[in-house]
Structure 1
Amino acid sequence: MPQHHPNMPVCRDCDGFPVVAITTGGRNRDGSRTTLRTACRACKGTGRMVRRAALALAGR
């Protein structure tokens, strides 16, 4: 388990595990599995979410 810094929230979509390897079912010539590495789209592979400033609507 990775240790998370308390001030940086963990990504809700990947839960702090931003890059995964997915097997395609095939094998390479050396016998190893063919895999695809995929990064989380929400955090772009960092595992952390940046807090966004809240938009304040002011009006009459």
Structure 2
Amino acid sequence: MPQHAPNHPVCRHCDGFPVVSITTGGRHRDGTRATLRVTCPACHGTAHATPASLARTGR
């Protein structure tokens, strides 16, 4: 059975994956990797695109 498409547009910059973990290459004392959580700057971690008609315009 086909999946239903979301009724909101997905962010073009992150393609629906708004938060990612990036390894820094280092490790903590217990042996786990040190990571940074980074959110998409375009959608601010929501994974939804703002329609062009609703985008704020101004000088």
TM-score bucket of the superposed structures, by smaller chain: 0.7 to 0.9
- Equivalent residue number for residue 58 of structure 1: none
Q: Which amino acid aligns with 1:24?
A: T
Stretches of 4+ moved more than 6 A in 1? none
Sequence identity (%): 59
Could you tell me the TM-score, scaled by structure 1's length? 0.76
- Secondary structure at 2:35's aligned position in 1? strand
Mapping of residues 1-60 of structure 1, within 5 Å? 5=6, 7-53=7-53
Give ranges in structure 2 of 5+ residues lacking alignment: 55-59
Aligned partners of 1:18 and 1:47 also within 8 Å = yes
Aligned length: 51
- What is the RMSD computed on CA atoms of the aligned residues? 1.8
Q: CA deviation at 1:50?
A: 1.8
Could you tell me the TM-score, scaled by structure 2's length? 0.77
Give ranges in structure 1 of 5+ residues lacking alignment: 55-60
Q: 1:27 to 1:4 in 2, by over 3 A?
A: farther
